[in-house]
Amino acid sequence: DIIRTIRDPEKPNTLEELEVVTESCVEVQEIGEDEYLVIIRFTPTVPHCSLATLIGLCLRIKLQRCLPFRHKLEIYISEGTHSTEEDINKQINDKERVAAAMENPNLREIVEQCVAEPD
């Protein structure tokens, strides 16, 4: 429910409407007392999607802000659905790279627009 309303950076649609994220792409595992591992596997609309990293960043930021419990978060591109999935997976799961990206005012503004709750 948290990620279904994230907007695509280029289109007026949500990631759910574009089938970039679906309920079946979310996995939650208990890893300790009151601590969970949340794994998201998203599918870009095209194998050479230039915004796949940005979509992963939006997913991470929205979940970090909204999950009401202690968690570890792993976000991946669905295997075989993007030409540079390995590189992108490294980027969106690297805390330092995520922090650096969110320091960029232009990038932060795009992320904020994508993760804003609809009116």
Domain range list for the chain: 21-110
Overall CATH class of domain 21-110: alpha beta
The rounded average pLDDT for each run of 10 residues, N- to C-terminus, in the chain (119 residues) is 93 94 95 93 92 95 90 94 94 95 95 89
Say whether pTM exceeds 0.85.
yes
Instruction: For tokens 């007392």, name the residue.
Output: 33
What SS3 class is residue 51?
coil
Residues linked to residue 70 through DSSP beta bridges, in sequence order? 35
4 Cβ contact list (under 8 Å, min separation 6): 14, 15, 16, 21
Cα separation, 44 vs 54, whole angstroms? 11
14 Cβ contact list (under 8 Å, min separation 6): 4, 5, 6, 7, 8
pLDDT value at position 8?
A: 94
